[in-house]
Structure 1
Amino acid sequence: MSETSTSIAERPAAPSRPLGRKLLEWASTTDHKVIGRLYMVTAFGFFLLGGLLAMAMRAELAQPGLQFMNQQTYNELFTIHGTI
């Protein structure tokens, strides 16, 4: 007696959901694993943004004088970096 089994390649693909539907599910989820992943992605995004702001401020302070931003912009970047 032979058993018939389907391999992974022969299985039908799961129907894909539209991107808007996926985003809505992520935004309204109560699954603790998904919420944890969202927290990690958000924290890493803010870490990268804060790092980019720090690099911009260090580039401005590398040499005396104004290089590529005025004092108002520098103060704004400094405040945003500190908030992040």
Structure 2
Amino acid sequence: MSKTLDMDEANIASMIAAMEGYMEDVKEVAPAVALDHSTAALKNANKYLVALLVAVERRNMAERQTPPFSLKKGRQAPA
């Protein structure tokens, strides 16, 4: 019986050590993963904002009924 208890204690100690090692690995990796997630979210937000700006500019152009610039040399877009 004593041998079984020693074995169980050794297994538990081994599992605790493994979990502590795992937690240290997580502490090292977690900031990089969080940064990756934040970067992805910012890229998505940037795409959304660019699309929104394009939509607003298109609406403004439609209201003015003029292109934002002319391809002919020497002509400027109205202000």
Query: Normalized against structure 2, the TM-score is what?
Result: 0.42
Q: Which has the higher helix share?
A: 2
Which structure would you say has the larger Rg? 2
Query: Normalized against structure 1, the TM-score is what?
Result: 0.40
Greater relative contact order (Cα 8 A, min sep 6): structure 1 or 2? Answer: 1
